[in-house]
Amino acid sequence: MDDPAATAARLQRGIVLKAVAGTRIVGSVQLVVDDAVGLIERLIVAPDWQGRGLGTRLLRAAEQIAPAEVTSYALTTGGRSERNLALYRKAGYRELSREAQTPKVDLVLLGKRRRRK
């Protein structure tokens, strides 16, 4: 777990969106812009809110608020995170690379081009 100073520094790197139910934060996502790439980071949905489309809505919102210079999006997830992989693939992301972190854990990089309207 991040210490408070590390968390504050991470939050200052980008835009954080949150989903709120009453007074409770039930989901969040962070967008960090790196040149022409919008990095989608820390997409989180509370367990009792999963399966309701909230992750999809947060992902879409992060993509939509990206500044005009962003031409593509990238994100990472665990290679065994099947629900996450399915969500990202359904949203148009494709696997770009897979890197072993440990003998049992792969980190998957996914990306997609930004569609202009």
DSSP codes joined into one string, 14-83: SEEEEEEETTEEEEEEEEEEETTEEEEEEEEE-GGGTTSSHHHHHHHHHHHHS-TT--EEEEEEETT-HH
How many domains does the chain contain in total? 1
Percentage, residues of the chain above pLDDT 70? 91
pTM of the prediction? 0.87
Q: What angle do CA 27, 30, 36 make, to 5 degrees?
A: 150
Q: What's the CA gap between 46 and 28, in Å, rounded?
A: 9
Report pLDDT digits (tens) over 44-72. Answer: 999 999 999 999 999 999 999 999 999 99
CATH code at 31?
A: 3.40.630.30
For the cut 80, the answer to whether the pLDDT of residue 1 exceeds it is: no
Expressed as residue numbers, the domain containing 77 is 4-113
Dihedral over alpha carbons 13, 52, 86, 20 (to 10 degrees):
10
